[in-house]
Amino acid sequence: MKEKGYYETFDLLYCICLYEIGQRDLAKEAFAFIDLSTFHFIFRSYFKIRYLHLKKALFGSINNMEEEELGLLKHQTQFFALIY
């Protein structure tokens, strides 16, 4: 399971890169396979913030619970991901 967490992390970074170079359809396709539960606890908050920002950028919105979680994570960690 530990190794899968690393792969998921790289999958997220891959999706972000695809989005940044304008490959939104490929990014959405790859995004569907990301499993947040495998992110390592050390990185979980950071990558959850990145994940939620990307989801919001790709699909136009996130649900209220995700929006609240994003706000809480930003407050707890003082990390603010680039807004796409």
pTM recorded for the entire structure? 0.72
How many domains does the structure of the chain reveal? 1
Query: Which one-letter amino acid corresponds to residue 84?
Result: Y
Spatial distance between the Cα atoms of 67 and 6, rounded to a whole number of angstroms: 25
| Residue 40, token pair as written in the block | 């390592």
| Residue 24, token pair as written in the block | 């939104």
> Dihedral of the CA atoms 70, 71, 72, 77 (nearest 10)?
80
Whether the Cβ atoms of residue 77 and residue 49 lie closer than 8 Å to each other = yes
> Is position 84 within any domain?
no
- pLDDT, one tens digit per residue, over 4-49 is 667 788 888 899 999 999 999 999 999 998 887 777 666 778 888 9
Query: Which one-letter amino acid corresponds to residue 83?
Result: I
> Is position 82 within any domain?
no
- Place 79 in a pLDDT band, splitting at 50, 70 and 90: confident
Check residue 19 and give its pLDDT: 93
- Place 76 in a pLDDT band, splitting at 50, 70 and 90: confident
> Is position 83 within any domain?
no
Domain range for 70 = 2-77
